[in-house]
Amino acid sequence: MKANIAIIGTGGTIAGRGESSVNTSAYACSVVSVDEILSGIPELASLANLQAEQLLQMGSENFATEHLLLLGSRISRLLQQDHVDGVVVTHGTDTIDETAYFLHLTLKSMKPVVVVGSMRPPSALSPDGPLNLYNAILVASSPASRGKGTLVVSNDEIHTARDVVKTSTFKLESFRSPYGPLGYVVEGMPRYYREPARSHTLETPWSIEEIDRLPEVGIVYAHGGIDAGMVDAVTNARMSGIVYAATGNGNVAEHVVGALLRARREGLHVVRASRTGSGVVIRNGAQPDDKYDWLVVDDQAPQKARILLMLALTREARSAELQRMFHRY
């Protein structure tokens, strides 16, 4: 019996179109409907019973918190329907890792949710979108995918939403996880080799059904000679937190420490992250976090840390509890 899979279109490169078949990086984004995408892949009919809807139509660089809430709420309603076995979201690759992680932490279902995009538009000479979408539906239809939270499928790989990040502007193998994928799609069969280690979905305190707004958190990207005024700008914007994407192991230049301390005194939570792309930021390592009442990301990429802090602040303001969340999720 074929699975019943709901497809939600939100735009992105997978819904793009170039002027010629050799335009793989220069093209119009988010101009093809999800129905048109599906009709161009006749092989999908043999995989599952599909129902499709166009929820959004935009490049994912335009995704804001209200779009995360809208998408999460719609997926949640679909997952509650008995006849829906899983959900696939077509999404732009720019912020696919952020959206997927938000869903990973807020959806309350064992059913598979797969977010998929492409690095080349459907009009390209060798587009990756059709096979990515085919594989995503395969993964969403597989009983082996139940209970693994939100997944991102790309280039024959299955990644957990917690770890995956985009690492290239154009390569098909752009999506990487620091610990490797959970598994692969091989000849039409999802094959899993590891499980997500951190808590997600049913094991988190956040439910999309209970969230009507998210506090804003800014990211400041460190570099040599950074002006401390960049931190002050976020503080003055009256956000709820700052993720400082620091150099190395969360190192903070001496002349920036004062600005981050001011931010904390103003009530913003300060989280030390790293711009390196992998590794663990050690608490009380490069900075005296206990003394300053700062937080560290553990191994989270800055953009993932922002998602987690926004969610954490909907329920908690105590630093010790916030730090515990960074070490658990």
Looking at residue 22, its pLDDT comes to 79
Annotation-wise, does 93 bind a ligand? yes
Task: Compute CA distances 18 → 23, 31, 128, 295, whole Å.
Answer: 5, 10, 14, 44
Do the domain assignments include residue 210? Answer: no
- 61 lies in a domain? yes
Q: 191 and 225 share a domain?
A: no
- Domain end, chosen from 156, 175, 203, is at 203
C-beta separation of 305 from 271 below 8 A:
yes
User: Tell me, what's the pLDDT at 20?
Assistant: 78
Residue 34 has what pLDDT? 97
Residue 297: which CATH number?
Answer: 3.40.50.40
Of 203, 237, 268, the one marking the end of a domain is 203
Domain match, 156 and 283 both: no
Q: For residues 231 and 87, state if they share a domain.
A: no
Same domain, 52 and 142: yes
In a domain, 209, yes or no: no
94 annotated as ligand-binding: yes
Q: What does the pLDDT profile of the chain (329 residues) look like in tens digits?
A: 899 999 999 999 999 988 878 777 778 888 999 999 999 999 999 999 999 999 999 999 999 999 999 999 999 999 999 999 999 999 999 999 999 999 999 999 999 999 999 999 989 899 999 999 999 999 999 999 999 999 999 999 999 999 999 999 999 999 999 999 999 999 999 999 999 999 999 999 999 999 999 999 999 999 999 999 999 999 999 899 999 999 999 999 999 999 999 999 999 999 999 999 999 999 999 999 999 999 999 999 999 999 999 999 999 999 999 999 999 99
- Is 35 marked as a binding-site residue? no
For residues 89 and 183, membership in a common domain is answered with yes
Tell how far CA 25 is from the center of its chain: 22
The last residue of one of the domains, among 171, 203, 235, is: 203
| Rounded Cα gap, residues 325 and 308, in angstroms | 8
Same structural domain for residues 310 and 264? yes
Domain for residue 208, yes or no? no
Instruction: State residue 289's pLDDT score.
Output: 98
Q: Are 9 and 15 in contact (CB under 8 A)?
A: yes
> What CATH number corresponds to the domain at position 144?
3.40.50.1170
Residues 163 and 258 in one domain: no
- Residue 99's domain spans which residues? 3-203
Please list the active-site residues.
Answer: 13, 93
223, 155: one domain: no
Entry field: residues in the chain: 329
What CA–CA distance (Å, rounded) separates 129 from 233?
Answer: 39
310 assigned to some structural domain: yes
How many folded domains does the chain comprise?
Answer: 2
Say yes or no: 34 and 7 in one domain. Answer: yes
Q: Is residue 24 part of a domain?
A: yes
Residue at 211 is within a domain: no
> Same domain for 61 and 168?
yes
What integer pLDDT is reported at residue 148 of this predicted model?
98
For residues 160 and 234, membership in a common domain is answered with no
* Residues 48 and 125 both lie in one domain: yes
